[in-house]
Amino acid sequence: MRYFLRLAYHGKAYHGWQRQPNAMSVQEVIEHSLSTLLRKEVVIVGAGRTDAGVHAKEMYAHFDTDTPLDSKQLSYRMNAFLPSDIVILDILRVQDNAHARFDAIARKYVYQVVCQKNPFLKELAYMVSGALDVDLMNRAAQQLCNYRDFECFSKSKTDVKTYICSLNEAVWLEKDGVLEFHISADRFLRNMVRAIVGTLLEIGKGQKSIADLDAILQSKSRSRAGVSVPAHGLFLVKVTYPSKIYV
């Protein structure tokens, strides 16, 4: 039987989602919790791989078990066992062939920026000095949706077979003094969102133009794009699946 975990985490203490040999990951902590509570080794498969320091307001992972589970009870026990920076939001029974990564049809990220010192957001938003032309940044963000090849924003030496992504949202919104970049797509490349945000911020500061953005995208060269902004401002906020996968 297959179950989906719906969870959230604060990423500061972890070296990303994926289990690694010499660093603590979110996957490792959850697998340890599940294996301890179910009294057998459990391996989970996540919807994707967030980098070190990136947060998730909604992440999914699947695991298998031989016997039916009391989802509410297991969720309660896991939350009592897990550290305070990881929470299980739900445990859902799914079709036996459902896959947390490959069945996801959309993912959404939000990157938070503040333009003045805010002690309450020091681990959750990137502080940028100087004025930003948000209207120009939004015009540039809209231009992204005209493209599908995002190799210029991908981390180098990655093992992906294609750099094609279908964006359906890219917009800057201001909420209570926080500037948020919302971006949704069917898939994302490693470091893609942080590189896009860095490039758009350079446009907002007048260091690059929208014409430069077009040239960067057409070049497919990571060295032409802007710097990668820090991980602590980035959140995975939503992963969408077709309803047919649920039991």
Q: Is residue 156 scored above 90 in pLDDT? A: no
Q: Within 10 A of 22 (CB to CB), how many other CB atoms are there?
A: 5
pLDDT digits (tens, 9 = 90+) for 159-204: 788 999 999 999 999 988 899 999 999 999 999 999 999 999 999 9
pLDDT at 144: 97
Is 51 an active-site residue?
yes
pLDDT at 155: 87
Q: Is residue 157 scored above 80 in pLDDT? A: no
CA-to-CA separations, 129 to 36, 113, 116, 123, 132, in angstroms, rounded:
47, 10, 7, 17, 9
Q: How far apart are CA 93 and CA 1, in angstroms?
A: 8
CA-to-CA separations, 162 to 14, 112, 144, 154, in angstroms, rounded:
28, 28, 17, 11
Q: Where are the domains of the chain?
A: 2-102, 106-238
Do 152 and 225 meet the contact criterion of CB atoms below 8 Å apart? yes
pLDDT at 68: 95
- Mean pLDDT calculated for residue range 2-8: 98
CATH number of 106-238: 3.30.70.660
CATH number assigned to the domain with residue range 2-102, chosen from the 4 options 3.40.50.720, 3.40.50.300, 3.30.1360.120, 3.30.70.580:
3.30.70.580
pLDDT at 158: 75
CA-to-CA separations, 2 to 8, 67, 142, in angstroms, rounded:
20, 10, 39
Q: Please provide the average confidence, as pLDDT, over all residues in the chain.
A: 96
